[in-house]
Structure 1
Amino acid sequence: MGDLHGKTALVTGSSRGIGRGIAQRLAQDGALIAVHYGRNDAAAKETVESITSAGGRAFPLRADLGIPGDVEDLFAAFDTELAACGAEPGLDILVNNAALNFPAHIDAVTYEEFDRTIAVNTRAPLFIIQQGLRRMRDGGRIINISSAVTSTAHPSQIAYSVSKGALETLTHTLAKDVGARGITVNTIAPGWVETDVTAERRATPEGRAALAAYSVFNRIGRPSDIADVAAFLASDASRWITGQRFDVTGGSML
């Protein structure tokens, strides 16, 4: 897609699923990848090894999000690990992918679940961007991973929908603020994707067929479907696009 050699990318929540796919894709294009994760050491190690075994460069970056001091801890570790790699300090590509979801209808969502959802899905990206911009070189790329729930109603995921809607507003508001530095800010909104999150719903032939039926292509998305769009947005080819939301759902709910 593009030449990312000499670039450094931080992908949050990249030990599994969509985040892993994006990390692998950006590494394929030449970027040094900071593979952020919360607690699953084994999964993060797998992601790093999958990148390095293919000739890419990556290092793991452990930091819990949604707790006091989370962003400070994240970037302290980032700066340390970057130096240990012998790489130039700084950041070129930031992908905010880490998220969580507590499915519940309006009559069942709790204060604790709502606060935790907002802390990880909305607050953390905002302050990761704040700290990231202090390290980001001009012409950088910020990519926020949202969801199809912001354009189609999913009453059983109300807290998650609110958190992702706020993230999309952050995208177009921020894009105007950082445009003078040549930094682009865009959102990717995936639909159903074959990850751990959808594993239970895909466990039966009927469940798999139901998810596939959302797309005009009658299949469930793959992490690579999302990662290829992220690679485009991370490249110079996307230099004239900012503040936009990309529906990457395979034409779901048309």
Structure 2
Amino acid sequence: MSEKIALITGGSRGLGLNAALKLAEKGIDVILTYHSQQQQAQAAVRQIEALGARGLALQLDVADSSRFDDFAAAVKEQLALIWQRDSFDYLLNNAGTGLHQPFMETTEAQFDQLVAVHFKGPFFLTQKLLPLLADGGRIVNVSSGLARFTLPGAGAYAAVKGAIEVLTRYQAKELGARGITVNVLAPGAIETDFGGGRVRDDAALNAFVAAQTALGRAGQPDDIGHAVVALFSEQCRWVNGQRIEASGGMFL
């Protein structure tokens, strides 16, 4: 039986799935959430189990905070049923959607959706899950390199990521008494299906990213998965309230 359990929102695909698999390789069990693709989520669980860890998929819409109490109750029930535990150890607030839209054309509906998914959701979901997070645990909030450097069309998305970065420092301060560390992981441009797969599939954009990156290429999912494992590890127990950018050195 694994001695550690991670909960990853949006863990059925993309960077969340990669992080889940990297944690599973280290013997860490994973509870992942999915929005609507149940079959994809169950396939992710099978991949986790194939690596020798336990996996569980639970449905969650991070934009619907009215269901967070029900979700926390489901997590508590499954922890007792599967692990005979009343807590988990690591929380990765990863679930998200992208938006590429100029400031002048961003609608109020688009703005509200970004706030719900990237800021209000992680804010209140973390709050609801805190009674289940073990003392000495870890929280990693996912931001973006776009909160540091500026590319037209990313204003609304980057702004809500900036909000989660500020919140992270306050969480670290307020949860320190329980020994819980809280950090931000900010990926650069990564070759996934995020944002319609633009970095992965648009050759011109991929080349632009590579040219602006010190290490000379766009990021791969493994680059972020390994960073998550590192931040959850005992070796990083003294890293707290920090913004860690994993971008290969974009726009230095």
Report if TM-score (shorter chain) is over 0.5: yes
Q: 1:187: which partner in 2?
A: 184
Matches within 5 A, 1:69-218: 69-197=66-194, 199-218=197-216
Deviation at 1:68, TM superposition (A): 4.3
Is the alpha carbon distance of 1:138 and 1:108 closer, same or farther for their aligned partners in structure 2, counting shifts above 3 Å?
Answer: same
Q: 1:245: which partner in 2?
A: 243
More deviation in 128-137 or 186-195? 128-137
Which string of whole-angstrom CA distances, capped at 9 and with x for unpartnered residues, describes residues 154-192 of structure 1? 230111111100000011111111111111000000001
> Equivalents in 2 of 1:59, 1:24: separation in Å?
13
Aligned length: 251
Counterpart residue identity of residue 246, structure 2:
V
Secondary structure of 1:189's counterpart equals: strand
Deviation at 1:83, TM superposition (A): 2.9
Which string of whole-angstrom CA distances, capped at 9 and with x for unpartnered residues, describes residues 91-118 of structure 1? 2100000111222111111111111110
Contact 1:32 1:56 in 2 (8 A): yes
More deviation in 83-92 or 168-177? 83-92
Deviation at 1:84, TM superposition (A): 3.2
TM-score where L is the length of structure 2: 0.94
Contact 1:63 1:73 in 2 (8 A): no
Q: For structure 1, list consecutive stretches of 5 or more residues without a partner in the other structure.
A: none
Which string of whole-angstrom CA distances, capped at 9 and with x for unpartnered residues, describes residues 46-98 of structure 1? 21111111211111111112124132232122223323314312121000001
Deviation at 1:204, TM superposition (A): 4.6
Counterpart residue identity of residue 216, structure 2:
N
Alignment RMSD, CA only?
Answer: 1.6
Is the alpha carbon distance of 1:155 and 1:228 closer, same or farther for their aligned partners in structure 2, counting shifts above 3 Å?
Answer: same
Higher relative helix content: 2
Deviation at 1:201, TM superposition (A): 4.1
Secondary structure of 1:167's counterpart equals: helix
Identity between Structure 1 and Structure 2 (%): 37
Corresponding position: 1:65 with 2:93: no
> Equivalents in 2 of 1:66, 1:177: separation in Å?
24
Deviation at 1:237, TM superposition (A): 1.1
TM-score where L is the length of structure 1: 0.93
Deviation at 1:11, TM superposition (A): 0.4
